[in-house]
Chains A and B, each alone.
Chain A
Amino acid sequence: MASMTMIQALRSAMDVMLERDDNVIIYGQDVGYFGGVFRCTEGLQAKYGRSRVFDAPINEGGIVGSAIGMGAYGLRPVVEVQFADYVYPAYDQIVSEAARLRYRSAGDFTAPITIRMPCGGGIYGGQTHSQSPEVLFTHVCGLRTVMPSNPRDAKGLLIASIENDDPVIFLEPKRLYNGPFDGHHDRPLVSWSAHPLGEVPEGYYTVPLESATVFRPGADLTVISYGTMVFVSEAAAQETGIDAEIIDLRSLWPLDLETLVASVKKTGRCVIVHEATRTSGFGAELAALVQEHCFHYLEAPIGRVAGWDTPYPHAQEWAYFPGPARVGAAFRRAMEN
């Protein structure tokens, strides 16, 4: 075990996979010599050489499109899009090609690629450094969408994603890169070294895809969340005194339905929390699933806390970001019914 930040844990996952599998190749903008704008690939090029870890032109469609070609050849590329906000030029390659290649060729060709992208707000990133576009991927059949919330899961999920033979969208909440964040932006930054989930095994291990985890057990209501909002929900539970059972989905789609359903059947109440905008957000799918599978157990309407249906603003960051106060209010509403 070693104390790692999420950045170090992600780097460790790539180091492990570069070592284990000669077909693993890592590239993206500023990923090679410089080691990434977030340091996630620092030292990897020096260790494995320029043919395994290299810099790419600023062209997201090219980064993903070439990775699909490499996947068709038989490699296992792990590519980076510098910010999730910049994935849109690659959307055609992701949706029309990576996601459908196995299906349309009846398994003749596959795209075993992992696309890493830092996502989420809470860092004064403004419109194009804060978005949470996960629903654009969960809606696409053939993709797996994954988002860790802590160093230990980040490493295990990334290794599992790289090893997975399906294309994986691997979203990394950059607000959690250096430490857990519960939405209290006015308090000092906490480091992962002070958190038990910052203790990460040094070698190879996986956290299986399609497995959610009960982040905080509770009896009063079920919170379904992922990424930064897991910590915000934890703070809200503490501050409201409501004994919330917080589920960290980890794999957004395909997901671990059983864990969700078991929890909601136990608590009878459900609040869904995500940073992404509300309308047609992933929370809508989660609410529908809970409604379909737990209708007779529900004692209150399913609550949703999300980003407002606006572009992500700069100066109004904390009025936009769903913090513990807004999440706590949703918990209380769910308990009032």
Chain B
Amino acid sequence: MSQGASLRLHVPEPTGRPGHETDFSYLHLSRAGEVRKPPIDALPADTGDLAYTLVRVLDDEGRAVGPWVPEADPELLRRGLRAMMKTRAFDARMLIAQRQKKISFYIQCLGEEAIATGHALALQQGDMCFPTYRQQGLLLAREDVTMVEMICELMSNERDPLKGRQLPVCYSMKRAGFFSVSGNLATQFIQAVGWGMASAIKGDTRIASGWIGDGATAESDFHTALTFAHVYRAPVILNVVNNQWAISTFQAIAGGEATTFAARGVGCGIASLRVDGNDFLAVLAASRWAAQRARSNLGPTLIEWVTYRAGAHSTSDDPSRYRPADDWAHFPLGDPIPRLAQHLTAIGAWSQQEHEQTRADLEAQVNAALKEAERFGSMADGHVAGAATMFEDVYKDMPEHLKRQREQLSSEG
């Protein structure tokens, strides 16, 4: 018989549940400006400290401090703020559109707007992102993507570029460097590495950017991507958006307890950063650092973006059943939009009045875009791509059996 106490299974729990406040002390926060900025050719093993601290630029007063303050003229930051506000306005209107049954399903990125929009501004034309379903900011930050074409996809209408085949939010836009979103988690993380490898094989200058959430890091493709990115020194940025929640599951169940997701990168020999995801300036600076590193043949970078999923997981989710209703209000890294607005106001590049005016303008733009998209119908009113198009694009050329099935559909209904 063995000696000592009986073994016990450890099952992590969030500190906060409905009716109980969350204790956010688990987050390992650093003060703004406190964390060093290494040269872009830093060895992966020398980024160990960066994987356990937090790169932050904006302090509580909205001042930009420390080595990570990015070179960015106020116009670029104003553009970033507008992109975040646009993303939030878009999400808010699409949530209502889902409740109005104009679209069947929606996923918002409330509270995470800084990450995708700031990252988009750090990339170049031709780079390719491999997003999850919560990086709509990558599209909304771009001036060559219209909200109308995005809403047509959400409505699966006659103008839907994906011909009604995909669930809402599973956009695909090659021209905008936005890879086709899949419902299967983590699969795109290794594909991003492959795309980066291809760019290196061809002696190109473009880089890839892969995206994954905290929960999906538990999928095998996360580990696969890190291994391949390290082995082949692929020009890729590996973004882990740690919003603390995977539907109802706290990030500790994904393996985040007493460690960080950035630390996984260091363990695999990848330079890694852990960054305040609600600090637009930090997002811009860290993304640029990683992009420059990749573009200089110095290899991949893993970035853990620490943020909070402020909204429900999706329109099919009710977070009040598993976490405190006022959780976001207590999240120590706050809201990315007022944080950047505070900074811009402090440097005289923004004002309360401009903020309100911009918000009103963006809301009007979203409403107008929705109205225009509705002209092309919706799934609800049956204005979708014809049923015969269902058989197209399974293969490049339609095989005989699909021609027979298409014929059967048209003759038998």
Contact = CB atoms under 8 A, between A and B. Distances in A.
Interface of A: 25, 51-52, 57, 59, 61-62, 65-70, 72-75, 89, 92-93, 96-97, 100-110, 141-142, 144, 164-166, 210, 254, 257
Contacts of B400: 210, 254, 257
Contact of B194 (A68, A102, A107, A109): A68
Given A25-B201, A75-B198, A96-B184, A66 B190 contact: yes
A218 B222 CA distance: 54
B172 A69 contact: no
Given A106-B162, A108-B172, A254 B399 contact: yes
A59 B182 CA distance: 21
Contacts of B196: 69
B221 A61 contact: yes
Interface string B363-404: 000000000000000000000000000000111100111000
B208 A69 contact: yes
A101 B180 contact: yes
Given A57-B231, A104-B182, A108-B173, A72 B187 contact: no
A254 B395 CA distance: 10
Nearest to A251: B399
Contacts of A92: 184, 187, 221
Interface string B193-232: 1111111111000001000000000001100110110010
Interface residues of B, number: 45
Contact of B166 (A73, A104, A107, A141): A104
B195 A102 contact: no
Nearest to A67: B194
11 contacts: A25-B198, A65-B221, A66-B194, A70-B194, A70-B195, A89-B220, A93-B190, A104-B166, A106-B161, A110-B396, A141-B394
User: Closest 10 CB pairs between A and B?
Assistant: A69-B194, A66-B194, A65-B190, A73-B198, A69-B191, A254-B399, A105-B180, A62-B224, A105-B172, A69-B195
Contacts of B194: 65-70, 72-73
A65 B224 contact: yes
A105 B228 contact: no
A230 to B, nearest CB: 23
| From A57, A101, A106, residue with most partner B Cβ within 10 Å | A106
Given A75-B198, A75-B202, 20 more contacts: A61-B220, A62-B190, A65-B224, A69-B130, A70-B194, A70-B201, A72-B128, A72-B195, A74-B198, A92-B184, A103-B165, A103-B393, A104-B170, A104-B180, A106-B393, A109-B180, A110-B396, A210-B399, A210-B400, A254-B400
Contacts of B191: 65-66, 68-69, 72, 97
Contacts of A25: 198, 201
A100 B220 CA distance: 20
Contact of B182 (A69, A97, A165, A166): A97
Given A69-B208, A96-B187, A107-B393, A59 B227 contact: yes
Nearest to B172: A105
Nearest to B167: A104
Interface in B45-100: none
Contacts of A96: 182-184, 187
B179 interface: yes
Interface string B216-252: 0000110011011001000000000000000000000
B221 A142 contact: no
B187 A65 contact: yes
Contacts of A103: 165, 393-394
Nearest to A100: B182
A102 B198 contact: no
